Amino acid sequence: MTQTYEDLKREVWEQGRCSGCGACIAVCPADAIRFLEGSADAHPFHSGYCKEVSDGVPCGACYRVCPRTDNRRAAALEKPLLGGYDAIISAKATFPVERRQSGGAVTAILRNALDEGLIDAVVTVGEDPWTMKPFSVLLTTSGELVHHAGSRYNWWVPTLAILKEAVVRRKYSRIAVVGLPCAVSALQAMRDCDHDLLRPFGRAIRLVVGLFCTESFDYKKLIEEIIGGVYGVEPWKIRRLNVKGALEVTDRDGVVHSVPLKDLKACIRPGCSHCTDFTAKDADISAGAVGSPEGFTTLIVRNPVGAGFIERAIQNGLLEEGEPPSLAPVERLARQKAERIP
């Protein structure tokens, strides 16, 4: 029996498990799933129309890609602490990346891939420079990529929703996606699944870059209520956000405001408490600042696909390898997250 959106609603949405990755929005053939602007709901809105439930046409695509169903959560718990990998290195971009989070290595890898024609589009997260509001974005040039560089995983956006535009409408066939562990898990489902509606997505995804993540924050609660309301820093004055034992908010004058993580609990999306994956185990390359020296990015190279993209960037002089990173802090954070009760 095929699971439908009703099963997704009952098993995931109503249990507070939804990660907000946007995968179900991307693959719904009826465009019946979406997030409502300004809604307080932690899960998408469904119009009530479903091809299978309403018309008896087999579907179930939304359920098959969700990273928080019972089966996918159980499978995630069976994987090693850091997931499978071939190598772990530190690296940095050899060119200036103004808003880079650590070493700019992900930007360097993707810039090289775009310049060489290895990929034709990148799905990632951008932000409005005035409001700091995040949004999923589709980039097709290295100039756009560098402009949008910098991690926005400190708060939530349905990254994968724009895949429908990339795959279905624009017909891109060589797409790289940068996402959090939840989004990466959904992408793996697209790649592995033989579902007719998911095959076009799986075939079009050439590279998946996962970002280390402890949890993601709601935009309104974090930017407007905490950083703006409590610390008095307007969104347009924020230059950089970074998590290092606390949330460090660097303003345009170079002043750093340190927000204790305990003060951010109310900002965390409910679905994050159900995630046990810190390093995005299903990615081709996983990336984060943890473990590497200042100015470098830790890269977990998980398979030959990821290794090939990194090697090309190094060969073309856009990426520089550094000293091996320390795995201890990566393993510590991964273990803390793995111990969450799913």
Distances (CA, A) of 100 to 33, 151, 180, 277, 317: 33, 7, 17, 23, 18
Q: Are residues 162 and 47 in the same domain?
A: no
Q: Are residues 153 and 249 in the same domain?
A: no
Single out the residue in 76, 97, 118 at which a domain terminates.
76
Judge whether 330 and 82 are in contact, CB under 8 Å: yes
- Full domain range(s) for residue 61: 5-76
Q: Are residues 139 and 246 in the same domain?
A: no
**322 C-beta neighbours (distance < 10 Å), count:** 17
Q: d(Cα 225, Cα 234) in Å, to the nearest integer?
A: 10
Q: Are residues 43 and 108 in the same domain?
A: no
Tell me how many domains the chain contains. Answer: 3
Q: Are residues 70 and 89 in the same domain?
A: no
Q: Are residues 153 and 210 in the same domain?
A: yes
Judge whether 102 and 296 are in contact, CB under 8 Å: yes
At residue 306, the pLDDT reads: 98
Q: Are residues 242 and 279 in the same domain?
A: no
Q: Are residues 21 and 150 in the same domain?
A: no
Q: d(Cα 64, Cα 118) in Å, to the nearest integer?
A: 28
Q: d(Cα 268, Cα 33) in Å, to the nearest integer?
A: 23
Q: Are residues 180 and 48 in the same domain?
A: no
Q: Are residues 143 and 206 in the same domain?
A: yes
CATH number at residue 163: 3.40.640
Q: Are residues 105 and 211 in the same domain?
A: yes
Sign of the CA dihedral running 260, 262, 264, 268: positive
Task: Put the strands of the sheet holding 256-260 in their side by side order.
Answer: 238-243, 246-251, 256-260
pTM of the entire predicted model: 0.92
Single out the residue in 60, 76, 92 at which a domain terminates.
76
Single out the residue in 267, 295, 326 at which a domain terminates.
267
At residue 90, the pLDDT reads: 97
**72 C-beta neighbours (distance < 10 Å), count:** 17
What residue type is assigned to position 97 of the chain? V
Tell me the pLDDT of the chain (342 aa) as tens digits.
678 889 999 999 999 999 999 999 999 999 999 988 766 667 888 888 888 888 888 899 999 999 999 988 888 888 999 999 999 999 999 998 776 667 899 999 999 999 999 999 999 998 888 888 888 899 999 888 877 766 554 567 889 999 999 999 999 999 999 999 999 999 999 999 888 999 999 999 999 999 999 888 888 889 999 999 999 999 999 988 877 778 889 898 999 999 998 898 888 888 998 999 999 999 999 999 899 998 999 999 999 999 999 999 999 999 999 999 999 999 999 999 998 765
**304 C-beta neighbours (distance < 10 Å), count:** 11
Q: Are residues 101 and 202 in the same domain?
A: yes
At residue 279, the pLDDT reads: 97
CATH number at residue 39: 3.30.70.20
